Amino acid sequence: MNELYDVAVLGLGPSGTVAAYRASQRGLNVLGIDPRGINAPSTVGVWASQLPDWFPEDAVASRFTPDVISHTGRQVLTAEYAMLAPGWEQHLAGFDVVEKKAEPAITVLFGVPGQKGRPLRSWFQPKSDELLSVMSEDDSLIDIVDHLLITTTPSPMSARQLAHGLVVPEGSVPEAHRRGVLMDFSPVAGFPDDGPVTFSYRVPLGDGTWLIEETILATDGDPKTLLEHLEAKNLARLEQLGITMEDIRRTEVVSFPLGPRRIPGDRARTPLGLALGMIPLGRRASLDLRFLAGPWGGKGVKGEAHIGTAGGWIHPATGYSVGAVLADTDAMLDRVLAGSPPTSRAWRINYALRRFGLNVVLGFSPTQYHEFFGIVLGLPERDLLAYLTSTSPWATARVMVRIILRAFRRTPSTAMAVFRLAPAALFRK
């Protein structure tokens, strides 16, 4: 297979599929690479305001206005939340797909006009089918000259979101509980408050079933042990809600990193940058000195763009990323196809603020965790939505200041914990 492509997308989960589809809609010749082909989790939720005009309406399974519940009370939101229909990603086809893993290696060539392309080799981890990395290699299978390389493959941080979900028929959910709930931190009998902090996520899937999911928002603890805890607590939550175990139709388990270890240094490629990047150090290692090119590398051309979890598009306070990808992929493509970095400086500042918030939360005790989210979920809806969805660092910073001021008034010990944890949170990876 030797064909010229304008865009190569490595990884065809939700983020990669959206990027490949939107690039193909611009008339670009796009290749997607993933051993599973186009794929997505069976349940994906987004804020309805993040759905772009081009997204197919029949790919949306349900819409509702959700509640959030903390130990301080319940807030009924007016913003609409949407659950995507199973198989929604298949609506976004229309580009070439190679389903490969391990050997034979897939190799892509990229370069700048008038220069020989530099070969890259990609391979997949046999156990998880996740693309691990891109490395130098001599041979080529797929030639992509002067192309845009979009990757969804992260160097993940240690913090993960974990969840155990159960799908039940709507008829088994008592009518009093048939309201979508994004976060319910209310206690469950038999599970002490000093244990791992979890919340219940309960949403209608649009096909006559509901997902009842117990979630740990962020943890760097042992996933196996914590998933067992989540399963036990979710079953107890079902019983507390009045749902019988016999009605369970299927189980869903969630475990994913809350972002990359650090934001990739995506930038437009230049002749000098290409010469300094991916310098072979043996068969399976390389040295990347592109940062030395700096502003002296010449005019940039289309370069790399990390998207989704790999690029820090995931919100570390919620675990949501698909909504941001749907809303902002076109702007990302505009930037990289013009030879600019995929995200703006303001976007990166906003990510740094969110990442700082995540690192602080990871240091909280269970009591501080409950008190903090009692304040967050009690914010006016405008502030809460800004904290959850805004791409403006100024809006994010403003809400963070309001959270701290409220914490000083209501729970001074939690506010002081934020300041005590702040120095370490600035440098945590």
Calpha distance 294→118 (Å, rounded): 19
Chain mean position to CA 367: 27
Chain mean position to CA 262: 14
CB crowding 86-122: b at 16 or more within 10 Å, else e? bebbebbeebbbbebbeeebbbbbbbbeeeebbbbbb
CB crowding 245-281: b at 16 or more within 10 Å, else e? eeebeeeeebebbbbbeebbebbbbbbebbbbbbeee
Other CB atoms within a 10 A radius of the CB of residue 291 amount to: 11
Selection from 332, 309, 413, 402 nearest residue 369 by Cα: 413
Looking at residue 112, its pLDDT comes to: 32
Strand 7-10's sheet: what is its strand order?
Answer: 96-98, 30-33, 7-10, 148-151, 304-306
| β-strand partners of 279 | 287
CATH code, 45-86+158-257:
3.90.660
3-class DSSP state of 86: coil
Calpha distance 248→231 (Å, rounded): 13
- Pull the structure tokens for residue 177: 């509980």
Contacts of 376 (CB under 8 A, 6+ apart): 70, 384, 387, 403
Other CB atoms within a 10 A radius of the CB of residue 409 amount to: 10
Calpha distance 162→149 (Å, rounded): 30
The DSSP annotation for 6-28 comes to SEEEE--SHHHHHHHHHHHTTT-
Strand pairing of 286-287 and 142-143?
unpaired
Looking at residue 312, its pLDDT comes to: 86
User: Which DSSP symbol is given to 245?
Assistant: G
3-class DSSP state of 121: strand
Looking at residue 141, its pLDDT comes to: 35
- Pull the structure tokens for residue 349: 């500042």
Looking at residue 398, its pLDDT comes to: 97
Distances (CA, A) of 425 to 51, 79, 353: 33, 31, 11
CATH code, 7-40+88-157+260-343:
3.50.50
In this chain, the answer to whether the domains covering 7-40+88-157+260-343 and 45-86+158-257 adopt an identical fold is no
Looking at residue 355, its pLDDT comes to: 92
Residue type (1 letter), 245: M
Residue-by-residue pLDDT tens, the chain, 429 positions? 445 677 888 888 899 899 999 999 999 888 888 878 898 887 899 999 999 999 999 999 999 999 999 988 999 999 999 999 999 999 999 998 888 653 334 444 333 333 334 333 333 333 333 333 332 233 333 333 345 666 665 567 889 999 999 999 999 999 999 999 999 999 999 999 889 999 999 999 999 999 999 999 999 999 999 999 999 999 999 999 999 888 899 999 999 888 888 777 666 555 555 566 656 666 556 666 666 655 544 444 456 678 888 788 888 778 889 999 999 999 998 888 877 778 888 999 999 999 999 999 999 999 999 999 999 999 999 999 999 999 999 999 999 999 999 999 999 999 999 999 998 888 776
**What angle, 0 to 180 degrees and rounded to 10, lies between the N-to-C axes of helices 345-362 and 393-410?**
30
In this prediction the pTM is 0.83
Domain ranges of the chain: 7-40+88-157+260-343, 45-86+158-257, 347-427
Whether omega for the bond prior to residue 192 falls within 30 degrees of 0, making it cis, is no
Q: Answer whether 153's CB lies under 8 Å from 305's CB.
A: no
Calpha distance 243→410 (Å, rounded): 36
Looking at residue 21, its pLDDT comes to: 95
